[in-house]
């Protein structure tokens, strides 16, 4: 399908001439940061100037670029460029993109996100132009999977590939592997079946990081032998907001031999647990993981989580116990439930009030002051607040009575317990 001609679009050459002209950047920013070109008898009205201050990282997003422009001028001014951001432009012809890329010999990073590339075929001779790129971003381009496969075959040293928001629900395997790829970022697609994810293992045998958040992946279906063979070097996986809803799927993450970082939030399986329970149960299930949801798992946190895991499943019937439970019981023994201790401060105490020959049982508030207690006692001992002295007697203490002489002191500071005594002594005139 031939892309329609965009008469309103601008050329790559026009944009860099305008953005990096000496009028906009009159001072050179150090050796190598600008490019000096000796004027030649070029075509009249050429947009290029005698000098352009082009950095090695070009950011040309949202500039309305739809065509390459004069390739000789691209080659003259961009030979030192290493990173190029062409996102949110109007590029819809791979032939025009290849004209730009083929004339930037040191290009390692290329971002083509949000260019209208849906349905646009890529010919093998054009794909060769991308062979030096190491990091390629094709987010929200709706580029076909066949085009992705062609690029991964031609880019022999590709290390990072970004394919987010492209509406992939299935992928086809390639007959030629891309062993150099380390990072695959394929979030916000529609990959629900593990059979599709399995293909990444054969296509990218050196994969270190797989980020596929916001795909409604239903389960991890392969067994230990297959997972070890398909993903021998996978170190990090992100399955945020997937559809995983069984602990068996979490246990299978242990079968990736090098896995040490997992991100797993927003999955149906964990919705009924508290935040603390989620983290503890996940850590206990994944003994080799050192990073969970971006946070380091310390040795002490792991031990606490594993002990919590044992106690959490204490009352489950034998047939419902997870496999991990038995290995942790072997490690720690069958732990008793933790004693429930109420650490909230006491609000009241039941005390004996003694005044001369009179003894009364009284419930007092411990958040009140000595002065407020005296007011409470006026009706009990028939004395005014100014006519009484109070003493606190701790029945469990070997010390004698403690005078409660400071009216503003709170009663809880005396550590009053049920059964203690308050002695009221009338003041002598």
Whether 189 and 169 have beta carbons less than 8 Å apart is answered as: yes
- Mean pLDDT value across residues 374-391: 91
Give me the number of domains the chain comprises.
2
**Co-location of 283 and 405 in the same domain:** no
355-368 pLDDT, tens digit each: 988 999 999 999 99
Domain boundary among 332, 357, 389: 332
CATH number at residue 388: 3.10.20.90
> In this predicted structure, what is the pLDDT of residue 7?
57
CB atoms within 10 A of CB 147: 18
Question: Looking at the structure, do residues 251 and 306 belong to the same domain, yes or no?
Answer: yes
420 in the same domain as 300: no
For the residues 110-120, what does the mean pLDDT come to? Answer: 96
Residue 34 lies in a domain: no
Q: What is the residue range of 421's domain?
A: 348-426
Same domain, yes or no, for 380 and 289? Answer: no
In this structure, are 364 and 233 located in the same domain?
Answer: no
Q: Which of 288, 308, 332 is the last residue of a domain?
A: 332
Bigger pLDDT: 38 vs 303 = 303
Residues 392-404 have a mean pLDDT of 86
Do 176 and 202 contact (CB within 8 A), yes or no? no
Residue 82 has pLDDT above 90, yes or no: yes
pLDDT attached to residue 45: 34
Q: Per the domain annotation, does 27 fall within a domain?
A: no
In this prediction, residue 347 carries a pLDDT of: 86
Residue 3 domain-assigned? no
- Lowest-pLDDT choice from 50-64, 139-153, 155-169: 50-64
Yes or no: say if 247 and 285 are a contact pair by the CB < 8 Å rule.
yes
Residue 76 to residue 55: CA distance in whole angstroms: 14
Give the chain's mean pLDDT: 89
> From its phi and psi, is residue 351 left (phi > 0), alpha (psi between -120 and 50) or beta?
beta
Query: What's the mean pLDDT in 224-244?
Result: 97
- Within its chain, how far is the Cα of 35 from the centroid? 41
Distance, in Å, from the CA atom of 418 to the CA atom of 219, rounded to the nearest integer, reads 57
Which of 275, 302, 332 delimits the end of a domain? Answer: 332
Spatial separation of the C-alpha atoms in residues 388 and 218, rounded to whole Å: 75
Whether 265 and 294 share a structural domain: yes
Domain membership of residue 39 (yes or no) is no
Check pLDDT > 60 for residue 35.
Answer: no
pLDDT, residue 343, reads: 64
Evaluate if residue 67 carries a pLDDT over 90: yes
Higher pLDDT, 51 or 136: 136
In a domain, 291, yes or no: yes
| 213 plus 282 within the same structural domain | yes
Q: Residue 339 pLDDT more than 80? A: no
In a domain, residue 229? The reply is yes
| Residue 380 is assigned to a structural domain of this protein | yes
Do 106 and 164 sit in the same domain of this protein?
yes
Do residues 324 and 352 both lie within one domain? no
pLDDT of residue 353 exceeding 60: yes
Assess whether 190 and 284 both reside in one domain. yes
Neighbours of 95 (CB within 10 A): 16
CATH number of the domain residue 156 falls in: 3.80.10.10
Tell me: do 215 and 363 sit in the same domain: no
Assigned domain for 337 exists: no
180 and 152 in a single domain? The answer is yes
Least confident of 60-64, 181-185, 332-336: 332-336
> What is the mean pLDDT of the segment spanning 160-182?
96
């Amino acid at each position: 399908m031939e892309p329609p001609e965009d008469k309103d679009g601008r050329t790559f050459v026009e944009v860099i001439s305008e953005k990096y002209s000496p009028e906009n950047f009159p001072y050179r920013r150090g050796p190598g940061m600008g490019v000096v070109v000796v004027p030649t008898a070029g075509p009249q009205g050429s947009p290029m100037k005698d000098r352009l201050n082009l950095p090695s990282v070009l950011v040309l997003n949202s500039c309305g670029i739809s065509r390459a422009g004069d390739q000789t001028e691209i080659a003259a001014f961009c030979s030192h460029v290493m990173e190029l951001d062409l996102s949110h432009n109007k590029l819809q012809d791979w032939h025009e993109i290849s004209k730009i890329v083929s004339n930037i010999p040191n290009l390692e990073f290329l971002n083509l996100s949000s260019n209208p590339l849906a349905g646009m075929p890529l010919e093998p001779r054009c794909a060769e132009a991308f062979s030096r790129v190491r990091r390629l971003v094709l987010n929200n381009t709706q580029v076909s999977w066949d085009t992705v496969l062609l690029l991964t075959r031609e880019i022999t040293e590709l290390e990072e590939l970004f394919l987010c928001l492209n509406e992939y629900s299935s992928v086809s395997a390639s007959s030629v592997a891309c062993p150099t790829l380390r990072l695959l970022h394929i979030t916000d697609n529609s990959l629900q079946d593990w059979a599709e994810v399995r293909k990444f293992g054969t296509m990218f045998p050196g994969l270190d990081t797989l980020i596929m958040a916001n795909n409604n992946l239903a389960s991890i279906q392969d067994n230990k032998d297959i997972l070890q063979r398909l993903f021998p070097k996978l170190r990090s996986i992100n399955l945020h907001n997937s559809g995983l809803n069984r602990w068996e799927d979490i246990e299978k993450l242990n079968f990736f031999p090098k896995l040490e970082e997992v991100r797993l939030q927003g999955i149906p399986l964990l919705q009924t647990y508290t935040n603390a329970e989620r983290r503890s149960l996940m850590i206990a299930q994944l003994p080799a993981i050192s990073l969970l949801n971006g946070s380091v798992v310390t040795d002490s946190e792991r031990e606490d989580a594993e002990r919590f895991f044992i106690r959490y499943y204490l009352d489950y019937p034998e047939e419902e116990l997870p496999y991990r439970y038995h290995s942790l019981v072997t490690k720690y023994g069958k732990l008793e439930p933790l004693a429930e201790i109420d650490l909230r401060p006491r609000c009241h105490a039941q005390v004996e009030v003694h005044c001369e020959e009179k003894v009364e049982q009284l419930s007092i508030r411990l958040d009140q002051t000595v002065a407020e207690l005296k007011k409470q006692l006026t009706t009990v001992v028939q004395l005014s607040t100014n006519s009484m002295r109070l003493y606190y007697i701790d029945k469990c203490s070997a010390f004698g009575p403690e005078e409660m002489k400071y009216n503003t002191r709170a009663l809880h500071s005396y550590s009053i317990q049920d059964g203690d005594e308050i002695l009221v002594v009338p003041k002598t005139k």
